[in-house]
DNA sequence: AGCACGCCGACT
DNA sequence: GTCGGCGTGCTC
């Protein structure tokens, strides 16, 4: 006689362990993957059963019994459970919290997967005769019964009854007592999916597209494919053929996109070409909409799921293909709490499910290209479509020769004039908000700094303020130097100043600035974009937020005002990002019959980066970066982990990382290196001091083993010190 | 994370 | 005399 099994339950607390419970007093054992309601401390919480065990570290007598089983079968199947466990292990994040992020809010709160439909139905034996018998003596009951008989065997929902006969319950109880009606409770299924419509005809594929489709089609198990092609090269068409295949085979496709708001065209094309309504998963859904989409995906009722990063956790009854569109987009990476990369999890999931994963991008990340070089992934290249718009001319403007005091150099000014005279629209891209990034004293050189952190303050002229773009602090604009009282001068140019300069340089033209300051008001962004698209604005000044997703038909010139930021960044991705954003903005310059022009203002015109970009475009830049990293940093570069800590007290964040570092160094014999001093300047943001420690290893296993050892140390921190920490794993060490 | 316990300052 | 501040510890 074996003893009762023990339930291993994941609970949403920041502890990386499972909690043991005894099964409920009566009723069947919960399935692995089912939710249970448990007492946890003084609280009642919903947890997910992740396993059954014979024994527990805690003696049985001290174990609590779980109070209720919320699902009569597994809510989460083995495939998805594996992904949740993997996520927890890989990102060193508590399993309960991973489960919580993966579940729709309503399920996390313990609601039933399917809403219950309750109502009243006529008893099989009842009929017109009973109606007559009730007669005038019981008119309420008679009327209700008539309603039920009209509805037939299926009966009527309580909700419907509430509407047509608000006081039906009294009469209903009587009818039930008399055996004339029965109460029913049934699972309310989701409505039938929208009837398919006639798919739009498919265009003829280019040779490269055919080859790409054939390569993925030939893959009947897991395989990763990098679909590399610029905008307009026909990536979507490749997705469409593959998706259509998979759906025809009765399986499901999961498509991850960076931001659903930016991809209405993509969803529209799916709809038109596939003749089905995709299920959308994104943050703008209500809890009920999200649960409904989740349910349908899980039941296999919807063949196509399109969603943003959290959609990687959508359950799939029959996965057949995973697509990650714009693979390089940073929004696939969650930057808070559980720091997961939806792209990497999508790859892991495809691997586990034994299905192909297609990663599309015009500017693929270095790590994906490295995988292709190593033959882990298949590189599918779509050349620019013949007959399409010609690629724009890129040229460099040397700001060490042409001064660009207020953001605008003479060659750029001349180009703007030329393009405007020709009826074109101009976009100036400057990734720096405000009037000027610095306020400097003309006498002593003092720079206005933030009092809350060590960043310099940005001048916002319209608001007459100095603002810290780091911690958010702001104060009134100084009229004189706070140190010596001499006059102060704004140095350098932000979007606000550039807008000013342009308005003065081109008096007759309309200048429009689009950045997070100008679009802070609700709806302002849409208005601005509408004006920009319609062409009512001749000159656009914008930050990063303007770099993607919008098409301006009249645009012929793009000027990258300050291109040097990305050139010498400390972030190992900064050059990659710079190339990506230039390629992105450049891709939008030019209209029919008119080749676009891209001007890049830089003080380092001879930097090899520009030579490559102009010569070979993004491929050249990334090839160079790949070669350079292969020579200097790989393989260690391929296994990185960033340990982040933040605390109210600077000393606390510091002490924490010192402890982590000491531990890491003791473990040094196992091929893990600690990079960067803990004493590097700590940023202050949102009232917290943040510090980071970079760990590097040639061996994935060794790095993860070390992080696992660090976990108890991290979790054992006194809560009162308010130290928060997280681990970033980046990113080549997946498969 | 939440929640309770526990010990020290200003108050219905 | 208590209410409540947050430091400390615990959660199967």
pLDDT digits over A568-598, tens only?
766 667 788 888 888 888 877 777 667 889 9
The pLDDT of residue A190: 82
Query: A587 with A625: CB under 8 angstroms?
Result: no
Q: What is the mean pLDDT of each run of 10 residues along chain A (735 residues)?
A: 86 94 93 97 96 93 95 97 96 95 96 91 86 86 91 88 91 92 88 78 93 97 95 90 97 94 84 93 93 96 96 98 96 90 96 98 91 93 72 86 78 92 90 92 90 81 89 85 92 92 91 88 82 84 79 87 79 81 82 82 90 88 82 61 77 76 70 65 67 77 83 73 77 47
> How is residue A40 written in tokens?
């946890």
Closest CA to A724 of A657, A676, A679, A662: A657
The Cα-based distances of A13 to A43, A97, A98, A101, A622 in angstroms read 12, 6, 10, 12, 42
> In angstroms, how far is C3 C1' from A74 CA?
48
The pLDDT of residue A520: 81
Closest CA to A627 of A370, A363, A327, A379: A370
Between CA A514 and CA A506 the distance in angstroms is 18
Query: A77 with A31: CB under 8 angstroms?
Result: no
Query: A93 with A724: CB under 8 angstroms?
Result: no
> Which ranges of A178-318 would DSSP assign to H, the alpha helix?
207-217, 235-248, 264-274, 287-299
Which residues fall inside 7 Å of strand C, measured at CB? A 13, 15, 17, 19-21, 38-41, 56-58, 62-64, 718-720
> How is residue A446 written in tokens?
């003092």
CB count in 10 Å sphere of residue A540:
25
The pLDDT of residue A431: 87
The pLDDT of residue A570: 65
Nearest nucleotide to A97 by CA–C1' distance? B1
The pLDDT of residue A77: 97
**Which distant-in-sequence residues (6+ apart) come within 8 Å of A508 by Cβ?**
none
Nearest nucleotide to A38 by CA–C1' distance? C12
Mark the nucleotides of strand B covered by protein, meaning any atom under 7 Å from a CB. 1-4
Which residues fall inside 7 Å of strand B, measured at CB? A 13-15, 41-43, 719, 724
Query: A369 with A225: CB under 8 angstroms?
Result: no
The pLDDT of residue A650: 75
- Residues A200-236 have pLDDT tens digits of 888 999 999 999 999 999 999 999 999 999 877 899 9
Between CA A261 and CA A306 the distance in angstroms is 12
Between CA A602 and CA A339 the distance in angstroms is 34
Between CA A36 and CA A167 the distance in angstroms is 36
> In angstroms, how far is C6 C1' from A717 CA?
17
- Counting Cβ atoms within 10 Å, is residue A207 exposed (0-12), middle (13-18) or buried (19+)? exposed
Q: What is the pTM of this model?
A: 0.90
Query: A696 with A672: CB under 8 angstroms?
Result: yes
């Amino acid at each position: 006689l074996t003893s009762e099994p023990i339930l291993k339950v994941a609970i949403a607390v920041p502890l990386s362990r499972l909690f043991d419970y005894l099964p409920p007093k009566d009723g069947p054992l919960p399935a692995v993957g089912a939710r249970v309601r448990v007492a946890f401390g003084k609280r009642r919480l919903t947890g997910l059963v992740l396993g059954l065990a014979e024994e527990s570290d805690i003696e049985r007598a001290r174990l609590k019994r779980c109070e209720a089983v919320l699902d009569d079968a597994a809510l989460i199947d083995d495939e998805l459970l594996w992904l949740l466990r993997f996520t927890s292990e890989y990102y060193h994040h508590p399993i309960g919290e991973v489960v919580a992020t993966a579940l729709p809010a309503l399920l996390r709160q313990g609601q039933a997967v399917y809403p219950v439909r309750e109502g009243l139905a006529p008893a099989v034996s009842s009929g017109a005769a009973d109606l007559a018998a009730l007669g005038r003596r019981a008119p309420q009951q008679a009327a209700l019964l008539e309603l039920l008989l009209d509805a037939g065997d299926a009966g009527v929902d309580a909700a419907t009854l509430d509407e047509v006969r608000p006081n039906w319950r009294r009469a209903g109880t009587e009818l039930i007592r008399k055996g004339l009606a029965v109460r029913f409770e049934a699972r309310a299924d989701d409505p039938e999916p929208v009837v398919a419509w006639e798919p739009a005809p498919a265009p003829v594929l280019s040779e490269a597209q055919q080859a790409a489709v054939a390569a993925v089609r030939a893959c009947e198990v897991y395989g990763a494919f990098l679909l590399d092609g610029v905008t307009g090269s026909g990536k979507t068409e490749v997705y469409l053929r593959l998706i259509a295949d998979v759906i025809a085979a009765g399986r499901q496709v999961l498509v991850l996109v960076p931001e659903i708001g930016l991809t209405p065209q993509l969803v529209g094309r799916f709809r038109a070409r596939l003749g089905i309504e995709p299920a959308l998963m994104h943050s703008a859904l209500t809890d009920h909409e999200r649960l409904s989409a989740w349910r349908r995906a899980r039941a296999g009722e919807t063949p196509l799921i399109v969603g943003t990063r959290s959609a990687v956790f959508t359950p799939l009854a029959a996965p057949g293909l995973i697509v990650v569109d714009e693979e390089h987009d940073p929004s696939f990476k969650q930057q808070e709490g559980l720091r997961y990369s939806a792209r990497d999890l999508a790859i892991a999931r495809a691997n586990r499910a034994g299905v192909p994963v297609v990663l599309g991008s015009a500017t693929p990340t270095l790590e994906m290209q490295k995988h292709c070089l190593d033959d882990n992934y298949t590189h599918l290249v779509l050349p620019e479509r013949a007959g399409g718009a010609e690629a724009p001319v890129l040229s460099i403007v040397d700001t060490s020769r042409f001064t660009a005091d207020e953001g605008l150099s003479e060659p750029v000014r001349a180009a703007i004039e030329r393009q405007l005279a020709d009826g074109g629209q101009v976009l100036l891209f400057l990734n720096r908000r405000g009037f000027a990034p610095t306020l400097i004293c003309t006498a002593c050189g003092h720079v206005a700094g933030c009092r809350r952190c060590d960043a310099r303050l940005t001048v916002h002229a319209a608001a007459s303020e100095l603002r810290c773009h780091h911690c958010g602090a702001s104060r009134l604009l100084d009229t004189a130097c706070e140190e010596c009282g001499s006059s102060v001068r704004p140095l350098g140019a932000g979007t606000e100043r550039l807008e000013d300069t342009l308005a003065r340089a081109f008096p007759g033209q309309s200048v429009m600035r689009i950045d997070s300051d100008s679009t802070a008001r609700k709806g302002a962004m849409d208005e601005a974009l509408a004006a920009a698209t319609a062409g009512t604005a001749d000159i656009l000044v914008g930050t990063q937020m303007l770099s993607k997703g919008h098409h301006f038909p009249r645009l012929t010139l793009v000027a990258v005002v300050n291109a040097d930021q990305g050139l010498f960044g400390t972030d190992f991705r900064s050059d990659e990002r710079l190339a990506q954003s230039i390629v992105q903005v450049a891709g939008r310059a030019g209209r029919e019959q008119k080749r676009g022009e891209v001007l890049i203002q830089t003080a380092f015109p001879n930097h090899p980066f520009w030579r490559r970009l102009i010569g070979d475009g993004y491929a050249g830049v990334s090839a160079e970066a790949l070669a350079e990293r292969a020579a200097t940093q790989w393989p260690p570069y391929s296994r990185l982990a960033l340990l982040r800590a933040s605390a109210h007290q600077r000393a606390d964040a510091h002490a924490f990382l010192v402890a982590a570092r000491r531990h890491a160094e003791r473990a040094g014999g196992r091929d893990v290196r600690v990079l960067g001093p803990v004493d590097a300047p700590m940023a202050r943001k949102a009232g917290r001091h943040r510090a980071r420690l970079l760990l590097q290893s040639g061996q994935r296993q060794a790095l993860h083993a070390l992080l696992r050892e660090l976990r108890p140390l991290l979790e054992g921190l006194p809560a009162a010190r308010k130290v928060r920490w997280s681990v970033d794993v980046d990113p080549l060490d997946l498969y």
